[in-house]
Amino acid sequence: MSQGVRPAQQSRSRQTRAKLVAALEELLRQRSFEDISIADLAAEAGLSVGTVYRRFDNRDALIPVIFELYAERVAHYAAAPSARLTLEEGAGLRTALRQMVSLAWRFLTAEAHLVRAAHLYARLRPDLVGEEWEAFLEASVAQSEALIEHFSAEVSVPNRRHAAEILTYLFNTSLIERALYPQDGPAFALTMSDAVFTAAMADAIYGYLTAPDVPVRP
């Protein structure tokens, strides 16, 4: 085979994979991953079923792709100017938390199709997720630690690592519960608007971080 042909083949292969990834994301906007078949993916991408199977052995092989998409979207969002805190001079922890929760909520609702699938399959198929998910969560804890350190004068929780872990946990449970499953489970009982909800969540976290320390007996 001539060297002049190989780049064209590689280019077509990349284009085909890009079509499949785009088709997968579009289908995730419409339905849950468990309701997407290889035939559905092929039809959405405008490719044959055989072409899909040449790149993915089975449907489960698409799960890592979901996490790739999710990680890329998180990185892109985090780097965007619109995702940065814009605090006026003298603004405190409560204001920062309200902004953080609001920004997180914006991301969750915009990317709910990816977050929902990633959230579910991180539990159902951790073998297909790998260490990337753990690294992502650890990075989230590190960001929480940085926030707590910045406003350390306001924070009363003595164990700052524990405080960062709780902050990360609440961001990845309560917010996700309402954003992804508003009609199911505890979130169904919430009648408030999104703005009121996010402010209340921020205030709850603020209360935890600033409450007077009362030692817990082992």
9: pLDDT confidence band, cut at 50, 70 and 90? low
pLDDT at 3: 44
pLDDT at 129: 78
pLDDT at 126: 86
Q: What is the pLDDT of residues 170-203, one digit of tens each?
A: 988 899 889 988 888 888 888 999 999 999 999 9
pTM for the structure as a whole: 0.84
Domains 1-56 and 63-210 fall in the same CATH topology: no
Mean pLDDT for the chain? 89
Please spell the DSSP secondary structure of the chain, one letter per residue.
--TTTHHHHHHHHHHHHHHHHHHHHHHHHHS-GGG--HHHHHHHHT--HHHHHHH-SSGGGGHHHHHHHHHHHHHHHHHSGGGS--PPTT--HHHHHHHHHHHHHHHHHHTHHHHHHHHHHHHH-HHHHTTHHHHHHHHHHHHHHHHHHHTTTT---S-HHHHHHHHHHHHTTHHHHHHH-TTSGGGGG--S-HHHHHHHHHHHHHHHHHSPP-PPP-
Assigned CATH for 1-56: 1.10.10.60
Q: What is the pLDDT of residues 29-65, one digit of tens each?
A: 999 999 999 999 999 999 999 999 999 999 999 999 9
pLDDT at 8: 47
Q: Which sequence spans correspond to the domains of the chain?
A: 1-56, 63-210
Tell me the CATH class for 63-210: mainly alpha
